[in-house]
Amino acid sequence: MRIVGQLGEKCLTTEGLMNSPCPQDEEGRPAKEYGSFTFSYGPLAGGPIESLALDVLTRGESVDWIDYVSSKNRKIPLAGLRVEDAILKVERINANFGAAHSIAFLIAVEKALEVEPDEKVVSSRIVELELERVRNHLLVLHRLLDAASLLVPAYTVLSAVEQVNRTIGRACGHRYFMGANFLGGTVCRFEPSMLVGWTFMKEMWKVLENRIFVDRLSGNGVIKDNSLIGPAARAAGMAFDARCDGGDLPYDGFRPVSMRDGDALSRLMVRMEEVESSIEMLSEMRTEPSSFIVPERTGEGIARVESPSGDLAYLVEVEGRMLRKVEVLPPSRANLRAFLSSSRGAIFTDIPFNWESFGIWVSELEVDLG
Amino acid sequence: MSWFLRGVRRGVRTEKEPENNATWPSQLEVKGEFSGCPTRAIREGKWEPGKCVFCRRCEPNLVPTGNTVQPEVKTTNSLFRKSLHVFPVDVGSCGGCNVELKLLFSPQYDATRFGIFLVNTPRHADALLLMGVMVEGMEGPLREALDAMPEPKVVVLIGACAASGGVLGRPPEVNAHVVVPGCPPTPASIIQALRRLKGDV
Ligand code: SF4
Ligand code: SF4
C-alpha cells in the first residue's frame, strides 16, 4: 500500500480511502542568519508559464529555504451543480490536464451512480490520456530547454507540441479535450494513421548530447522518498503509476519505466521514455464517438487516473444528477512538496530547472472547489 | 548536426497564413433557436463570441464553421508596426491560454516574423496581455504591472475568462483595446489580433 495523498479530509491510498488525514513531515524554516535575506520571486516575474510566487531565504547564491506563496487561488464551487454543468468547470481546472481531470471526475460519478462505462468509451479515455501525456512531456522538455536559453532546440520541441495539439484537435474536436468527454460518452475519433509524421522523438533524444543542458539537470533537485508520485517517483526508482497499481482504467500488462538518481535529469529521461511508450500504445489503438445510458442514483464514488504528473483523484457524492460534494487531489500538490524539499540547500540558478522538471501547474494547485 | 539543420531536415515549415486546425473553437453560425447556453452567449438569435466557451452544447443549432474566431480590435497604432512587445499576465487562468500563447512562437506560427515579442517585464512592454478570471491575489500585481508600463500602452484580453468571465468567474476590470475570444483562443486567432493591433492587416 502507498499513500497517494490528501483527498478532502481523508487520506487516499492505493488500497482505498483512510478515515484520517495523511501523515506529513513538516520541515522547519531556519532562522535568518547574519547576511541572509528573503528574496521574493513573482508572481509577475517573466519566465514561468503561469503566475507563480516563491520566497527564497538566501545569503546570495544558496537557497537556505524556499517557500511557495499563494497568489492565484481560484474558487470554483461545484456542490449544488448538475454533473453536466460541473464538467464545464472541471475541464477548466487545468486545461493541460483537461483529459485527466474530466475523465477522473466522470469515472468517480459513474462509480457513485453504479454504472459500468461502455468499452469504447474506456478505450477512448486511455487514448486521450496518452495523447495528453505526450503533449505534456514534450512541453516540459521545451520549458527546460527554454530555461537553459537553448532556443533552437526549444522551438524545435515546441513544433512537436503544436503537432500533437493539432492531432488532439482533429481527434477530439478541441486541442485541450474541452467538450470531448461528457456523462455517458465521448466524441473522440482517433486512429493510428493520425500519428503519421510523429517522428520527433529521434531528435528529442539528441538534446541529451548537450553538456550545458545536462549539467543544469544532473544532480539538481535530488529527491527519493515514498511520498513521490508520477514521473518524480519513477525517476527515483519507485514504479508508482496509476496505470498499473490500482488506478481506474485497464492498462493490461503495462509496465512503468523507471530511473534511479531521482534528479531533474532522471525526471526528464522518464518523461522521454514515456513519450515513446505512449506513442507505441497509441499506434495500436483506435476510438470512435460512443455513449451509454447513465441511471440516476444517490451515492459516493472515488476515481484515480495517472495524469502526466502523477496520481489525480476525485471523490464525488451525487444525488440523481446533482453533485452534493466534490473533492480533488491534483498531482501538483505532491509535486510542489517534492520541489520545495528538493530545492532547499541548492543554489539559486538551479531553481527554474528543478521547478520545470516536476511539471507543476499552479492552476490546479490553487483551485478551491468548496 | 546543428539544431538549425535538424529543423530543416524535419521539414517544419512556418505557415504563411497561420491555420485554424480544430473544430472548436471556431466561428459559429446560428442555424436555429437555442436556449441552454451556460454563458448566455446567445441572445435573441445573436451569438457573442467573447462570452462563448465553445462547450458544443448548442450544436447543431449553432454550427462550427472551422473559420478562425474573429478578435475584436478597437485600436490600431502604427507606432507598433515594427515591433510589439507583449507582457503576459495570468490573473487566474487554467493554463490553456498560457500554452496557446507560448505556441505563437512555435516554428509553425513564428510570431516573431511579424515583430511580436514576449518580454519579461512590464517596463519594456507595449501591450499587457491578460488571461484568466480575476482572482483576488492577482489584483495588486496587475495594477502594478499596468502602472509600470510606459505610454503608449494597450491592453489585450485573451480567452473567454478574461473577456467575460466565461464559466469560472469575473473578468478583470480594465479598459481593453483588443479582445480575443476562445477557450482557449487558437494561436491563429491571437496572431490575427496582434497583427491588426499593429496595423499590419
Ligand atoms: S458553444 Fe456553448 S457557450 Fe458557446 S454559444 Fe454554444 S452553448 Fe453557448
Ligand atoms: S479562457 Fe478557457 S483556456 Fe483560457 S484561462 Fe479561461 S478556461 Fe482556461
Whose grid coordinates read 462550427?
A: B64
pLDDT of residue B20: 66
| Residue B17 counted as domain residue | no
B130 and B55 assigned to the same domain: no
User: Which among A51, A92, A367 is the best mutation to test ligand 2's pocket, defined by most ligand atoms within 8 Å of the CB?
Assistant: A92
Which three cell numbers mark B106?
512555435
Which three cell numbers mark A48?
514561468
Q: Is B49 in the pocket of ligand 2 (CB under 6 A)?
A: no
B130 and B95 assigned to the same domain: yes
pLDDT of residue A104: 98
From B13, B34, B68, the end of a domain falls on: B68
B55 and B80 assigned to the same domain: no
Sign of CA dihedral B17, B21, B25, B30: positive
Total domains, chain B: 2
Which of A231, A64, A242 has its CA nearest to residue A139?
A231
Q: Would you call A55 exposed, middle or buried from its count of C-beta atoms within 10 A (0-12, 13-18, 19+)? A: middle
From B68, B97, B126, the end of a domain falls on: B68
CB atoms within 10 A of CB B33: 9
**Which residues of A fall within a CB distance of 8 Å from B97?**
95
Q: What is the pLDDT along chain A (370 residues), one digit of tens a residue?
A: 899 999 998 999 999 899 889 987 777 788 888 888 998 898 988 888 999 999 999 998 899 999 999 999 999 999 999 999 999 999 999 999 999 999 999 999 999 999 999 999 999 999 999 999 999 999 999 999 999 999 999 999 999 999 999 999 999 999 999 999 999 999 999 999 999 999 999 889 999 999 999 999 999 999 999 999 999 999 999 999 999 998 999 999 999 999 999 999 999 999 999 999 999 999 999 999 999 999 999 999 999 999 999 999 999 999 999 999 999 999 999 999 999 999 998 999 999 999 999 999 999 999 999 8
User: Which among B30, B34, B53, B61 is the best mutation to test ligand 1's pocket, defined by most ligand atoms within 8 Å of the CB?
Assistant: B53
From B39, B68, B97, the end of a domain falls on: B68
| Residue B30 counted as domain residue | yes
CATH assignment of the domain containing B105: 3.40.50.12280
CA distance linking residue A37 with residue A140, whole number of Å: 31
Q: Which residues in A358-370 are b (16+ Cβ under 10 Å) and which e?
A: bbbbbbbbbbebe
| Residue B117 counted as domain residue | yes
B158 and B174 assigned to the same domain: yes
Can you name the residues that pair with A185 across neighbouring β-strands? A182, A291
CATH numbers and ranges of domains, chain A: 3-368 (1.10.645.10)
First-to-last alpha carbon distance for chain A, in angstroms, is 29
The parent domain of residue B108 ranges over 72-198
Task: Evaluate if pTM is beyond 0.80.
Answer: yes
CA distance linking residue B122 with residue B144, whole number of Å: 9
B132 and B181 assigned to the same domain: yes
Contact: B23, A178; criterion CB under 8 Å: no
B173 and B81 assigned to the same domain: yes
CA distance linking residue A188 with residue A289, whole number of Å: 5
Helix, strand counts (H, E) of chain B: 5, 10
CB B123 within 8 A of CB B89: no
ipTM higher than the 0.90 cut = yes
Which three cell numbers mark A348?
539559486
